Chains A and B, each alone.
Chain A
Amino acid sequence: MKLRKIGASILAMAMATSMLAGCGETAAETTTDTQATEQTSETAEPAADTASTTEEAAATTEAKNIEATEITFWHAMNGNLESVLSEITDEFNNSNEYGIKVTLVNQGAYGDLQTKLQASAAADALPDLAQAYNNWLTPYLDKIVKLDDFVANDFDNWDDIVSAYRDECSEFGFIHAVPYNKSTYVLFYNKTMLDELGIAVPETWADVEAAAKTVMDSKNIAFIGYDDLAGAVEASLHQNGSDYVDATGAKFNDDKGLETFTYLSGLYNNGYARLVGEDGYFSNVLSNQQIASYVGSSAGVSYIKAEGWDLGVAPLPGNVQKAANMAGTNIVMFSQDSNKQLAAWEYLKYITSTDAVTKWAVGTGYLPIRQSSYETADYKAYMEENVCAAACYAQAKDFFFSPTFDASNDIRSTVPSTVESLVYDKADAQTWLDTVVGAINAQY
């Protein structure tokens, strides 16, 4: 009994000691954390305006004085894309004179990468570099390193970057990223079927309607489908000379908007267009010849299996003007340490150099981000063999990107389901317009 009491006292003492130690540690950690947070916010705030001076200094004077370090790069490139990225990264790791080692970390698909970035931003544990879409970044924009001075002082001809990509990467009023794996929406079509029916590749909405009628009459299948319904609405509005959305709300509640939805609702209500259903992408539907064409990302060309028929790829049809959605992510820098920033910048410069960009584009099917890449012999040869690359190049001047603001993510996820229900209801154009405008404005 006595022994048990002694044992209990020892246990109680041990517990009390460990609790006290625990408290002490927490307090210390809290202080450090607070300091760290204060420091971060102090540096982050002026980073918007004055960090440029520090970075300018870093970019110019310290550029050749980088200590060996390890850079972590979170990406969502799988399969062959990952192999090519690894190859280019290995080349950088082996060739750079500073001993910089870039570690690639695969974070699954885009959705997973987005989740992990958001959680890591909340936990202050962001990587040095990460692929990201602009609309992921709004919750943690303050944690992004501004690249204006790096670009101004230590980059090989920023003007060589395709202008739409430059605009997208400076959407927030400063250069927040460098473009990397870029694609665009194109029209994939069954060339054999169109040739057989004597249909020319549609260049305008009127061509689409006429071709769709012919296909429906002779084959009883839909002519066109859209992998991304939100993208389809946005592109169609632009093609009709209308705006889509901005930070204040929908911008198409007018005649141009009504015309656009007359076109789209007409396609669906006449059976000229169809929804993709559970499969999620039209690549298999086209492969199976159950649709004559579809609008989807150029990065999806490898998913189309043209067995017994020939694949054609064309720029998106326009109406009063041409307009094509850009897709694909940019690379954002988060590292707060100035040496790591310089090291990460060396890597970004390397992978966006004309040679590396050409290698990336030829190896993966993504579009070159540099104009000079398009001019290289390698890429010219690639375009000759690859119909998709040629179509993308043909519409490069018509690229637009979706604007980013607080509600943009919600709008992007709301529009597809709204459009789907309008298609199921066989709604008229006015209902389309009212419903889509209402659904978008409800997100603000």
Chain B
Amino acid sequence: MTSKRNIANVIGVVLKFTVLILGSIFTVLPFIWMISSSLKTPSELVQVPPSLFPAVPQWGNYKEAWAAAPFARYFINTLIVTLCTTCGVLVTTVLSAFAFSRLNFPGKKTVFSLFLATLMIPGEMLIITNYETIIKLKWIDSYKAMIIPWVSSAFYIYLLTRFFMQVPESLYLAAKVDKCSDFKYMIKIMVPMNKQAIFSIAILNIISSWNAFLWPLLVTNSQEMRVLSNGLVRFQTEAGSSTELIMAASCMLVMPIIIIYLFLRKYIIEGVTRSGLKG
């Protein structure tokens, strides 16, 4: 009986690990492919059958890619825009979610419905009108143009409102009895209780902001204001593309995100599993 159970256990473990290993391969392979392609020669890239690793790693690809555009400047710009939009999004989202979930004010449901209604409009439709607004404000080629339109998100507000609503009202009333102000209650109780959801929102926003391409391209003109993703198109022309350089630049582009992930993975995994969100 025991041996049968042992065999069943072993089979279970083997199956589990097989599935996990296969899953990891599927997830990691594109990433490994990107890194290996960034170190290949152009002819190795189209070799048939393809090779997983380059015969001689072409580290020069990174040097060449780095020199093709002012990537250091792009990096700083991307960092500034990502940090500012993420901070902005967190502030507006937490405040709005708290207002919608706990405070009572006239027209609350209507305003919330209007917020929800904006989710039905595809972002692409708003791009031109937003661009016109930026031109009229004379914000072209400024950080403001890249940051301000993205410091609030109806989707994140809706999401966090649902999380805040799950916190029992009795806690709020108890805090009120203890003469706790709304702001203090929000900072001391609501935010710590929902930190996983807030973390998820921050991560999602960091990823989308880091990868944003079209908007920064539209609202900037000078090289000093461009971001990393704009630099990637430097290697494409009408007649060909230097795939190995695109891959080298892509590796440099995603590296900070990977580093953030390695440092914060505990919170990210908690956030994703608790909030049911993923990027």
Where the two chains meet, the residues of A that have a C-beta atom closer than 8 Å to any C-beta of B are 29, 72, 78-79, 81, 105-110, 112, 115-116, 119-120, 122-125, 183, 227, 279-281, 283-285, 287-288, 290, 296-303, 305, 307, 327-328
Per the bound structure, the CA–CA distance linking A183 and B41 in Å amounts to 26
CB of B79 closer than 8 Å to a CB of A: no
Which chain A residue lies CB-closest to B134? A123
- A123-B132, A284-B43, A300-B240 as given contacts; A79 in contact with B234, CB under 8 Å: yes
Interface-facing stretch out of B4-12, B161-169, B178-186, B216-224 = B216-224
Chain B residues closer than 8 Å to A123, beta-carbon distance: 128, 131-132, 135
User: Do the beta carbons of B68 and A303 come within 8 Å of each other?
Assistant: no
List the count of A-B residue pairs having beta carbons below 8 Å apart.
103
Which chain B residue lies CB-closest to A285? B46
Chain A residues closer than 8 Å to B171, beta-carbon distance: none
14 new A-B contacts, CB < 8 A, other than A110-B238, A125-B140, are: A72-B221, A81-B237, A107-B217, A108-B233, A109-B237, A115-B217, A119-B127, A119-B131, A123-B128, A279-B45, A284-B43, A285-B46, A287-B43, A297-B239
CB of B273 closer than 8 Å to a CB of A: no
Per the bound structure, the CA–CA distance linking A109 and B235 in Å amounts to 9
Which residue from B135, B217, B240 sits with its C-beta under 8 Å from A116?
B217
9 A-B interface contacts by CB (under 8 A): A78-B233, A106-B223, A123-B135, A183-B238, A279-B46, A287-B46, A288-B46, A297-B238, A300-B240
User: Do the beta carbons of A284 and B233 come within 8 Å of each other?
Assistant: no
Chain A residues closer than 8 Å to B222, beta-carbon distance: 105
User: Do the beta carbons of A283 and B240 come within 8 Å of each other?
Assistant: yes
Chain A residues closer than 8 Å to B239, beta-carbon distance: 183, 227, 281, 283, 296-301, 303, 327
Where the two chains meet, the residues of B that have a C-beta atom closer than 8 Å to any C-beta of A are 41-43, 45-48, 68, 127-128, 131-132, 135-136, 140, 214, 217-218, 221-223, 230, 233-243
Question: What is the distance, in angstroms, from B232's C-beta to the closest C-beta of chain A?
Answer: 9
Which residue from B46, B234, B238 sits with its C-beta under 8 Å from A284?
B46
Most B Cβ at <10 Å: residue of A106, A110, A297: A106
Chain B residues closer than 8 Å to A122, beta-carbon distance: 128, 131-132
Per the bound structure, the CA–CA distance linking A289 and B164 in Å amounts to 62
User: Do the beta carbons of B221 and A105 come within 8 Å of each other?
Assistant: yes
Chain A residues closer than 8 Å to B127, beta-carbon distance: 119
User: Do the beta carbons of B48 and A290 come within 8 Å of each other?
Assistant: yes
Question: What is the distance, in angstroms, from B73's C-beta to the closest C-beta of chain A?
Answer: 13
Which residue from B46, B136, B217, B238 sits with its C-beta under 8 Å from A299?
B238
User: Do the beta carbons of A281 and B240 come within 8 Å of each other?
Assistant: yes
Question: What is the distance, in angstroms, from B197's C-beta to the closest C-beta of chain A?
Answer: 31
Question: What is the distance, in angstroms, from B225's C-beta to the closest C-beta of chain A?
Answer: 11
Chain A residues closer than 8 Å to B140, beta-carbon distance: 125
Which residue from A79, A107, A112 sits with its C-beta under 8 Å from B68?
A79
Per the bound structure, the CA–CA distance linking A280 and B237 in Å amounts to 11
User: Do the beta carbons of B235 and A78 come within 8 Å of each other?
Assistant: yes
Which chain B residue lies CB-closest to A121? B128
Which residue from A106, A115, A284, A327 sits with its C-beta under 8 Å from B45?
A284
User: Do the beta carbons of B46 and A29 come within 8 Å of each other?
Assistant: no
User: Do the beta carbons of A119 and B237 come within 8 Å of each other?
Assistant: no
User: Do the beta carbons of A288 and B43 come within 8 Å of each other?
Assistant: yes
Which residue from A125, A281, A301 sits with its C-beta under 8 Å from B241?
A281
Chain B residues closer than 8 Å to A285, beta-carbon distance: 46
Which residue from A79, A279, A328 sits with its C-beta under 8 Å from B243?
A279
